[in-house]
Amino acid sequence: MTHPAQFSERTFEFAFNAHFAKRFKAVLLAVPNIPSQTAEGSCGFDAAFEVLMGGDYEVYYYQHKVASHVDVRSGSNKHIWAKTTGPYFHFRVDRDQYNLIRRLGTPSRINPFSISIDYTSPRFWSYADLHDRFMKSRVMDHTVAINVQSCGYMSKGKHRMIYTAGGAIQAWRFSEPSPATARPVLGENGRAVGQRMTDCGPNALLDKVMAAVTRALASARRYDEISQSRVARISDALGFIRQNRVADFDAPGPERNERAALLKLNYLLGNVLGLTALVAAAKAEE
């Protein structure tokens, strides 16, 4: 029998993001980067969190999904059941969004960073379970993170992400059964698994990101189908950040300057991802 999720994706997003912010409030560096629904199509994530974990600057990129629960083997799902060997969850995957996530995970001249965006989906489907886990601040404890970099790009057709409902977490992309990397959002030590962005400190990384944005802007200006007003706004912001590179905010001291640099990274990283995706789409139409 199939049990569709009794709550919306937006409701799950809120519950997950609120739990993340509460759990890691001591190490959060900035307000979460949550793009608009329009911007989400060009940046690939629903939410990005920046933390300073054990001296490391880490970023967590999540694309949230809700899933249906299937607990009975039938003729139509026997090929899936053969992989999961028991009940499983599944959600539909948008081909353009999926391929964008794959593309952003591959470094290029315009985007020198391998941005790891995970699909996140709950291992529960009922509203009662969501309510219970939200009230107990345990939403993340019952959520899986799925990374699709090992799956390859997606061709035409309908595709779903499948993951096991119990026991060890495993995931596949169907219709062609392609294994994905799946794990709990929280590791055994209670830490989220994030992407370590730099070994050279946030100020040095900011310089790299500004250079990447400069290259992305130069490429974006070549295509009329890319909003040039958006390009102009990002260019103005980049100019302001470069002009105020040394005098960060109002408090003296290297700690405050470092935090300011991280806040600027939060803005620029989102825009270099968006511009990279738009340029790649424009090139594909040539």
Q: What is the pLDDT of residues 266-283, one digit of tens each?
A: 566 666 666 666 666 666
Identity (one letter) of the amino acid at 138?
Answer: R
Does 233 or 114 have the greater pLDDT score?
Answer: 233
pLDDT tens digit sequence for 102-151: 877 776 554 555 677 899 999 999 999 999 999 999 999 999 999 888 78
Note the pLDDT tens digit of each residue in 56-82.
667 788 999 999 999 999 988 899 999
Quote the mean pLDDT of the chain. Answer: 78
Does residue 239 register a pLDDT over 90?
Answer: no
Which has more pLDDT, 48 or 87? 87
Distant-in-sequence, close-in-space partners of 203: CB < 8 Å, separation ≥ 6: 257, 258, 261
Across 125-129, 131-135, 159-163, 191-195, least confident range: 191-195
pLDDT for 36 beyond 50: yes
Start-to-end CA span in the chain (Å)? 46
Q: What percent of the chain has pLDDT over 70?
A: 68
Question: Mean pLDDT highest for which of 43-57, 88-102, 228-242, 272-286?
Answer: 88-102
Quick one: pLDDT band at residue 284, thresholds 50, 70, 90? Answer: low
With contact defined as beta carbons under 8 Å apart, do 203 and 258 qualify?
A: yes
- Whether the Cβ atoms of residue 47 and residue 194 lie closer than 8 Å to each other: no
Q: Report helix angle 254-285 to 95-104, nearest 10.
A: 130
**Position 251 pLDDT exceeds 70:** no
Neighbour-count burial for 51-63, b at 16+ CB within 10 Å, e otherwise: bbeeeebbbbbbb
Q: Can you give the pLDDT at residue 191?
A: 72
DSSP letter for each residue of the chain: -EE--SS-HHHHHHHHHHHHHHHTTTTB-SS-B---HHHHHHH--SEEEEEEETTEEEEEEEEE---EEE-S--TTTHHHHHHHSS-EEEEE--HHHHHHHHHHTS--SS--S---EEEEEES---HHHHHHHHHTT-TGGGEEEEE-TTT----SS--EEEEESSSS--EEEETTTEEEEEEESB-TTS-B--EE--SS-HHHHHHHHHHHHHHHHHHHTT-TTS-HHHHHHHHHHHHHHHHTSSS-SS--SHHHHHHHHHHHHHHHHHHHHHHHHHHHHHHHH-
C-alpha distance from residue 229 to each of 36, 67, 224, 232, 234 (Å): 17, 37, 11, 5, 9
pLDDT at 2 over 60: yes
Mean pLDDT of 233-257: 58
pTM: 0.73
Give the per-residue pLDDT at 198: 47
Is the pLDDT score of 240 beyond 80? no
Structure tokens at 150: 């090992």
Please give the Cα distance from 155 to 139 (Å, whole number): 33
Residue 254 has pLDDT above 80, yes or no: no
Lowest mean pLDDT among 154-163, 175-184, 240-249: 240-249
Percent of the chain with pLDDT over 90: 29
Provide mean pLDDT across the span 196-210. Answer: 57
Tokens of 139: 């939403």
pLDDT attached to residue 5: 96
The count of other CB atoms within 10 Å of the CB of residue 137 is 13
Structure tokens given for 164: 């096991």
